[in-house]
């Protein structure tokens, strides 16, 4: 099967055992929700044919944050890494699947979206003049998708308006 480049959201089920019937092609996704979001099941986008569960429930262990609405599509934060099977690593952002690299790598070449660009001024105003703030904290304060914020921060660095930390501070930004 060919790798998927987009998430296809197939709906919400209450039980994990009901999910697989909706997962036919790579990138197909079902939300398992009982009282609160439990799991996102994805037919592995690489095309290996395996189902890939992503935990969304902090009470059940390390959890991913799901951003999902009709306007912005499906986003997961942080990136997801399969530790078994095909060991694929994905960034899922606005229903698009990026099958490469670490999140620190550039993936904004296709992200020339007005909505993302609209965040520029608010993000710029939140960059500290001393020290650094992580793009995730900026996203939280704006109720924005972290990958949107990271993309804008990187653009601001290229415009020499912002600076990015090095090493462990990668992903943290301040005013240039």
Residues forming contacts to Zn ion in the complex (CB under 5 A) are: 44, 46, 48, 86, 88
Shortest Cβ 26–Zn ion spacing (Å): 8
How many whole angstroms separate alpha carbon 56 and alpha carbon 138? 21
Shortest Cβ 37–Zn ion spacing (Å): 23
Would you say 16 or 86 has its CB closer to Zn ion? 86
Shortest Cβ 48–Zn ion spacing (Å): 3
Shortest Cβ 76–Zn ion spacing (Å): 16
Nearest to 159 by CA among 99, 98, 117, 110: 117
How many whole angstroms separate alpha carbon 58 and alpha carbon 134? 21
Please, which residues have CB within 8 angstroms of residue 60's CB and are 6 or more apart in sequence? 38
How many whole angstroms separate alpha carbon 125 and alpha carbon 134? 14
Would you say 48 or 142 has its CB closer to Zn ion? 48
Would you say 75 or 88 has its CB closer to Zn ion? 88
Would you say 42 or 138 has its CB closer to Zn ion? 42
Would you say 29 or 88 has its CB closer to Zn ion? 88
How many whole angstroms separate alpha carbon 5 and alpha carbon 15? 27
- Which DSSP helix (H) or strand (E) runs through 51? strand 51-55
End-to-end CA distance of the chain: 46
Shortest Cβ 49–Zn ion spacing (Å): 8
């Amino acid at each position: 099967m060919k790798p998927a480049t987009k998430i296809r959201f197939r709906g919400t089920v209450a039980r994990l055992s009901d999910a697989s019937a909706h997962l036919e092609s790579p990138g197909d996704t079902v939300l398992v929700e009982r009282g609160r979001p439990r799991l996102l099941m994805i037919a592995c986008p690489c095309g290996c044919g395996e189902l890939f569960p992503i935990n969304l429930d902090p009470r059940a262990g390390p959890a991913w944050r799901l951003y999902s609405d009709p306007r912005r599509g499906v986003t997961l934060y942080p990136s997801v890494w399969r530790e078994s099977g095909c060991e694929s690593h994905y960034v899922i952002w606005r229903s698009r699947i990026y099958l490469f690299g670490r999140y620190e790598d550039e993936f904004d070449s296709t992200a020339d979206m007005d909505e993302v660009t609209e965040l520029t001024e608010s993000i710029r105003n939140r960059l500290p003049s001393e020290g650094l703030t992580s793009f995730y904290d900026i996203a939280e304060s704006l109720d924005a998708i972290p990958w949107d914020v990271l993309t804008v921060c990187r653009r601001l660095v290229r415009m020499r308006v912002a600076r990015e930390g090095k090493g462990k501070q990668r992903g943290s930004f301040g005013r240039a």
